[in-house]
Structure 1
Amino acid sequence: MTDQPPVPLPYADPAFVADPFPLYRRLREEGPVRRAVIAGGLEAWLVTRYDDGLAALSDPRLSSDVRDASDTRLLRQLPETERESMLSTMLRSDPPDHTRLRRLVSKAFTARRVAGMRPRIQALTDRLLDAVVPAGHADLIADFALPLPVTVISELLGVPVDDRHDFQHWTDRMIVRGAEPPDPAVLNEAWQHMRGYITGLVQDKRAHPGDDLLSALTTARDADQRLTEDELIAMVFLLLVAGYITTVNLIGSGIAALLTHPDQLALLRSDPDLLPGAIEEFLRYDGPVNPGIARFAREDAEIGGVTVPRGATVLIASAIADRDPSRFPDPDRLDITRQDNAHLAFGHGIHYCLGAPLARLEGQIAIGTALRRLPDLALAVPPHALRWRPAGLRGPEALPVTFTPEGVAAPAGPRP
């Protein structure tokens, strides 16, 4: 198995980008660990099965620090002049630094704190839908799924929401999208803009602190010396970007899944109490992180009976493992009533997604309200015409839909 040449994931193939799961299924059937060429032209060892992936996410032999990787191209895919800042995030650190950094922000994402945000998220959701319901058509990404989580995380951090177009633009240029490595010049320019923007935010919070997370982090940096300046910049970057980008894809992919599975759409419309379980199924069936979560072997490590060499990039392929038939019966079927749905979409262990409660709440409110307020909701294009993000963070790039406009009587007869 390990002497087989790595399988290239064909990001240039529109059919694979639209539906990578047939290839994923074949890779899982070939073995628990499979070498592959992933986004950016990098080679990785894919962990394809659920039990192995669950164990790997808590394996201390696997580091989150890219500096433990033997492939120096990984570092070169970070902005050249700002690698130390980019490596100072919770996402890229291990204990004890990870423990200290996570503790500083964990109180902002407790279940109780997130539950208290429900009225504001509902109000934002209704305001966005108010703008489209008279028209009878919309792009539910640009008009809805994108601005909702951007506004929520911006308000939580204390960031002017009017700046969202700028930081979205820079973020788009910093994300590896396909088989080719990113352009270093584009990457560096985007990060320089992003760092300058975040530095300005921090300076403003020092001069005018408020009741927001960014003010609290700035205080932690200045008063308690619990953050270095690089760590502060990196923390704000991570919270700002991770706080919206995966939730956009959860909402978009969830609605797309319902519109291409009319039986599940009808079931959810008939019983809105199924919505929390439906969110978990959307995460399992077609989650926003795809193929999975990167780690780096600190030492030779046996995974699923395969020895992964020290320095190897290990991709714990949650998108593949979450359709493992040994863990999920009939895994390629969307089933919003599925029980025991312990997917890996949010990770596991000490790096379990800090924002998972907020993402779940936003997903429930957004999808539930859209179904309630957009009668006869349907895709405006054939399913095969939807455009999907090619790598890393999966979701529809646009979601054109039609529905019965507000104030217009729906056609007589049954509807999904």
Structure 2
Amino acid sequence: MTQSSQAARPDLAWLDDVTVADLERDPYPVYERLRAESPVAFIPALGFHVATTKQTCQEVAANPEIWDGVISPAGGRTFGHPNVLNANGPEHDELRGMVEPSLQPAEVSRYVEDLVRPIARRYVEAIEAKGHADLVTEFCEPVSVRSLGDLMGLQSVSSDKLREWFHKLSVSFTNAAVLPNGDWANPDGFIPGDEARAEVHEVVDPLIDRWIVEPDDSALSHWLHDGMPEGETRPREMLYPTIFVFLLGAMQEPGHAMSSTVAGLWTKPDQFESVVDDPKLIPRAIIESMRWTSPIWSAVARTNKVDATVGGIDLPAGSVVMLSYGSANHDTSDYNAPSEYDLNRPPVPHLAFGAGAHACAGASFASEVCRIGLEELFEAIPNIERDPDHEIDFWGWGFRGPTQLHARWEV
């Protein structure tokens, strides 16, 4: 990581005052200014460069000859190596081949209805008679974590515990602030993630012991066995870093996408009414939501194997560049009034699921969980509306979504 490009641009001295707390609260003003002034820039508080336009993100993601997948230092500290995000070459092929079979669109369509719809219906029934709920904590996140947890084979783990794990891992992953000398600004910020990882090992190790001798149809059992010679399984040490990736990113994404979709539709009451009246519009509403507030806002990075120039910025080999997909999805070169949620926006592809070899393997699964969850919610409670006594606060720079989403309805 280097500050060479920053030093060559004295007009970016304002970045010295940007803190991680600023980015977590609201990254959009900083990234909007960077898109205009320097589409690739070094942010001192983070200790690495960020790519903020759609063009620069795509240029880096689409050139594996120059750019390797890498994870941010805080992400590496949280997940360990190798994981599906920071592995490259044959190692990445192995990990990707391990996780992808159960996430291919055709395979997802085979099982997703039977898996997710009963879960979504159960959580709707739990709130339906109350007349009010925080949809983030009582519906969207529980549906998301329960669906993925059951797919992975973690039926024995409560939804509350799964939510606790992904929140603790998120605290650790986003503990990105560094001091000028490169040391962590808040070393204790990794304690929650360490606690979660220890608990995951305690719970999953016995399951792995059983799956080794009694394989079943759970995703983690397949990770152990598929593609291995007869009588052999993958080492559990190879699985755990990617398990942690799934317990954070894959559990977070559908829940926050669901809640952001509702929040976005509430800004356009006529569009919300249209979606409730016509469930076939739900997939389109989700697509716009993922562009409007990308759940994985800025959590994927690359490092260059040779000197490179991106967005007019010279980057010495070994530079770390975070691909800020949430910023790219607000690029005015592609989207008019990007800060507005608009169901009727012309269908321009977004980057919420990333691009290139490290694009999100679970795009189809996440989209289907969102679709089914919102279908069940809107069918059971068509008169659901925002509770005006509560604000809708979004939070996050690495992962972003509403912290709460208070709703009410007549029963």
Please give the TM-score of this superposition, normalised by the length of structure 2: 0.85
Relative to structure 1, the CA distance from residue 267 to residue 155 in structure 2 (aligned partners, 3 Å threshold; closer, same or farther) is same
Q: What's the counterpart of residue 64 of structure 1? A: 69
The alignment status of 1:282 with 2:289, answered yes or no, reads yes
Q: What's the counterpart of residue 236 of structure 2? A: 229
Q: What's the counterpart of residue 209 of structure 2? A: 203
Distance between the aligned counterparts of 1:151 and 1:203, measured in 2? 22
Q: Answer yes or no: is the 8 Å Cα contact 2:26–2:395 preserved in 1.
A: no
Shift of 1:216: 1.9
The CA deviation string for residues 358-384 of structure 1, in whole angstroms up to 9 with x for no partner, is 11111112223322322332222456x
Q: Secondary structure at the match of 2:302?
A: strand
* Identity of matched residues, %: 25
Q: Answer yes or no: is the 8 Å Cα contact 1:150–1:161 preserved in 2.
A: no
Distance between the aligned counterparts of 2:278 and 2:202, measured in 1? 48
Q: Secondary structure at the match of 2:394?
A: coil
Unaligned runs of 5+ in 2: 178-184
Farther-moved stretch of structure 1 (101-110 vs 130-139): 101-110
- Which amino acid in the other structure matches residue 363 of structure 1? C
Relative to structure 1, the CA distance from residue 362 to residue 105 in structure 2 (aligned partners, 3 Å threshold; closer, same or farther) is same
The alignment status of 1:124 with 2:128, answered yes or no, reads no
Q: Equivalent of 1:141, from 136, 142, 145?
A: 136
Q: What's the counterpart of residue 89 of structure 2? A: 95
Q: Secondary structure at the match of 2:255?
A: helix
Q: What's the counterpart of residue 411 of structure 1? A: none
Relative to structure 1, the CA distance from residue 181 to residue 201 in structure 2 (aligned partners, 3 Å threshold; closer, same or farther) is farther
- Which amino acid in the other structure matches residue 93 of structure 2? T
Q: Equivalent of 1:172, from 159, 167, 170?
A: 167
Distance between the aligned counterparts of 1:8 and 1:258, measured in 2? 34
Shift of 1:234: 2.5
Q: Equivalent of 1:55, from 53, 59, 68?
A: 59
- Which amino acid in the other structure matches residue 174 of structure 1? L
Q: Answer yes or no: is the 8 Å Cα contact 2:142–2:163 preserved in 1.
A: no
Q: What's the counterpart of residue 181 of structure 2? A: none
Q: Secondary structure at the match of 1:250?
A: helix
Q: Secondary structure at the match of 2:133?
A: strand
Shift of 1:182: 4.5
Q: What's the counterpart of residue 248 of structure 1? A: 255
Shift of 1:321: 1.1
Shift of 1:129: 0.6
Q: State the Cα RMSD in Å.
A: 2.6
Q: Equivalent of 2:49, from 45, 48, 60?
A: 45
Q: Answer yes or no: is the 8 Å Cα contact 2:26–2:397 preserved in 1.
A: no
Shift of 1:22: 2.9
Shift of 1:388: 3.0
Unaligned runs of 5+ in 1: 406-416
Relative to structure 1, the CA distance from residue 222 to residue 156 in structure 2 (aligned partners, 3 Å threshold; closer, same or farther) is farther
Relative to structure 1, the CA distance from residue 95 to residue 238 in structure 2 (aligned partners, 3 Å threshold; closer, same or farther) is same
Q: What's the counterpart of residue 325 of structure 1? A: 332
Q: Answer yes or no: is the 8 Å Cα contact 1:177–1:389 preserved in 2.
A: no
Shift of 1:91: 1.1
Q: Answer yes or no: is the 8 Å Cα contact 2:208–2:236 preserved in 1.
A: no
- Which amino acid in the other structure matches residue 98 of structure 2? L
Q: Answer yes or no: is the 8 Å Cα contact 2:120–2:376 preserved in 1.
A: yes
Farther-moved stretch of structure 1 (158-167 vs 273-282): 158-167
Relative to structure 1, the CA distance from residue 163 to residue 123 in structure 2 (aligned partners, 3 Å threshold; closer, same or farther) is closer
Q: What's the counterpart of residue 218 of structure 1? A: 224
Q: What's the counterpart of residue 160 of structure 1? A: 155
Distance between the aligned counterparts of 1:141 and 1:318, measured in 2? 23
Q: Answer yes or no: is the 8 Å Cα contact 1:109–1:358 preserved in 2.
A: yes
Q: Answer yes or no: is the 8 Å Cα contact 2:52–2:328 preserved in 1.
A: yes
Relative to structure 1, the CA distance from residue 141 to residue 213 in structure 2 (aligned partners, 3 Å threshold; closer, same or farther) is same
Please give the TM-score of this superposition, normalised by the length of structure 1: 0.84
Q: Secondary structure at the match of 1:114?
A: helix
Q: What's the counterpart of residue 105 of structure 2? A: 111
1:380-395 aligned at under 5 Å gives the runs 380-381=387-388, 385-395=391-401
Q: Secondary structure at the match of 1:227?
A: coil
